Amino acid sequence: MRNGNLDMWLHPKGVEEIRTPSRTLTLLERLNIAIDVASVLDYLHVHCHEPIAHCDLKPSNVLLDDDLTAHVSDFGLARLLLKFDQESFLNQLSSTSVRGTIGYAAPEYGMGGEPSIHGDVYSFGVLLLEMFTGKRLTNELFGGNITILSYTKSALPKRVLDIVDRSILHCGLKVGFPIAECLTLVFEVGLRCCEECPANRLATSEAAKELISIKERFFKTKKDS
Residues tagged active-site: 56
Q: Which residues of 73-108 are buried (b: 16+ CB within 10 A; e: fewer)?
A: ebeebbbebeebeeeebeebbeeeebeebebbbbeb
Is the separation of the CB atoms in 128 and 190 below 8 Å?
yes
Do residues 10 and 134 lie in contact, with contact meaning Cβ atoms separated by under 8 Å? yes
φ, ψ of residue 63 to 5 degrees: the values are -95, 145
Sequence-ordered strand ranges (E) for the chain: 52-53, 62-64, 70-72, 79-80
Rounded CA gap, 68 and 80, in Å? 29
Nearest to 93 by CA among 77, 80, 107, 81: 77
Where is 40: in which H helix or E strand? helix 27-42
The number of CA neighbours under 13 Å toward the Cβ of 196 is 1
Q: How far apart are CA 14 and CA 223, in angstroms?
A: 31
CB distance 134 to 167 below 8 Å = yes
